[in-house]
Amino acid sequence: MGKIVTKFGGSSLADAKQFQKVKSILELDSRRCYVVPSAPGRRFDGDDKVTDLLYRAHREQQNGQGFTATFARIRERYCEIAKELELEININEHLDEVQKDIAAGASADYCASRGEYLNGLLLADYLGFTFLDPKDFIFFNKDGTFNSERTNDALTALLKYTKKAVIPGFYGSLEEEIHTFSRGGSDISGAIVARAAKAEMYENWTDVSGFLMADPRIVPDAKAISNVTYRELRELSYMGASVLHEDSVFPVHRAGIPTNIRNTNKPQDPGTYISHTMPEDDNPDVITGVAGKLGFSVISVEKAMMNVEHGFGRRVLQAIEENGLSFEHMPTGIDTMCVVVVTADLEPVRENVIKRIVELTEPDTITIHDDMGIIATVGRGMVHNPGTAARLFSALSQAHVNVRMIDQGSSELSILVGVDSGDFQNAIRAIYYEFVKA
């Protein structure tokens, strides 16, 4: 029988009622054998996530302020769940130990990781599953990067003998110390477990029914995306990040495992299904989604005959690299080269970047245009639908949007446009309604 790895986010496990929903979801399909929990999240608007409380307790301890009150709130969250579900585990003993460790000066990563650790203990007890501590098989390298192969070998071996397990998300070990992924990293843990288990599906249960085709704050009636490929999702990363941690895509993508984003509060919704390939004609809207982000600057370097000058592009990029910047996009013309960077990163090194580009390339002109938004219109169906670009640009012109930059990736999966921030929302709406009919 195939296996399904399920990851449940913080809001899916925020209190005893949510635990009960999780249990009934697992009982619906016996292939759901490995469960990766986050720490308890917010129960209502204005509530605190346990992870935030743990970071706060750590800070208070470091500043010598005392963390007793904060820790009492953390304790209450876990004890309430244990009591309401009538669990056998003595969670207070585990909480005592964590409190002692924080008082003894444990690291921020250790403190934060206890959110998932303690929730995992409760969930394993509630479900009757084996508890596996990721410190024993999720490994980080000395430089803090994730050691995927060592982890995969250790975890594959372990899962062979473990039929049903709860594996807390978010952390592993770096040598003898506990180390965490970046915030939201339980998504990554879930993907790692899915790969090691050779799962047929990675289900990521959260509090939304998958991705929408556009940001609902800009397009209030945005439709849900039912199918998307991993490559499209990557192109849509501006919008995906709030639903799924970007780094969680890699392990499952590489292992050929599809991901299904599901809603714990509406388990009947099919959610968004992410996989490698889809039939190209399954998408009636031509586009899969439109996503954008503000806060970019475009550095344009112009020089006549730049196209025949050896190493011109390399020298521009050298100036960018020397100043510790990475670039988002790089559209080029015959005599111009543009490099799109994040304005906040450029700000402290702006003068140096200009100086260095001038030194290295002796351009005719160099200009920096700030306050730009980049909008990615993405769709696997675009390749097979001639005229997509024409429709997109005429929709923008009808909406009086001034397009500052165009970049069509060679993947033909997306068309990127740069617009002034004042035109940003208008542009997204114009593109969306051009392609998606209500």
| Binding residues vs ligand ASP (CB under 6 A) | 10, 38-39, 49, 51, 115, 169-170, 183-187
Q: How far is the CB of 193 from ligand ASP (least distance, A)?
A: 13
Q: Which is nearer to ligand ASP, 36 or 257 (CB)?
A: 36
Q: Which is nearer to ligand ASP, 263 or 411 (CB)?
A: 263
Residues in the chain: 438
Q: Which is nearer to ligand ASP, 170 or 432 (CB)?
A: 170
Q: How far is the CB of 7 from ligand ASP (least distance, A)?
A: 8
Q: Would you state the structure tokens that stand for residue 213, as one six-digit string?
A: 């085709």
Q: Which is nearer to ligand ASP, 190 or 331 (CB)?
A: 190
Q: Point out the residue whose Cβ comes nearest to ligand ASP.
A: 186
15, 42 in Cβ contact below 8 A?
no
69, 53 in Cβ contact below 8 A?
no
In whole angstroms, what is the distance from residue 293 CA to residue 223 CA? 19
CA 54, 57, 58, 60: dihedral to nearest 10 degrees? 160
413, 382 in Cβ contact below 8 A?
yes
Q: How far is the CB of 249 from ligand ASP (least distance, A)?
A: 15
Q: How far is the CB of 292 from ligand ASP (least distance, A)?
A: 24
* Nearest-5° Cα angle at 360, 356 to 363: 95
Q: How many CB atoms lie within 10 A of CB 279?
A: 8
Chain center to CA of 180: 15
DSSP string, 105-117: T--HHHHHHHHHH
Q: Which is nearer to ligand ASP, 122 or 401 (CB)?
A: 122
Amino acid type, 175? E
Instruction: Say if strands 4-8 and 165-166 run parallel, antiparallel, or are unpaired.
Output: unpaired
Query: Whose structure tokens read 């990766």?
Result: 36
Q: How far is the CB of 103 from ligand ASP (least distance, A)?
A: 22
Q: How far is the CB of 242 from ligand ASP (least distance, A)?
A: 12
Q: Which is nearer to ligand ASP, 55 or 129 (CB)?
A: 55
Amino acid type, 172? G
Q: How far is the CB of 119 from ligand ASP (least distance, A)?
A: 9
Q: How far is the CB of 245 from ligand ASP (least distance, A)?
A: 7
Q: Which is nearer to ligand ASP, 49 or 380 (CB)?
A: 49
Name, in order, each residue with C-beta under 8 angstroms of 308's C-beta and a sequence gap of 6 or more. none
3, 203 in Cβ contact below 8 A?
no
Q: Which is nearer to ligand ASP, 169 or 271 (CB)?
A: 169
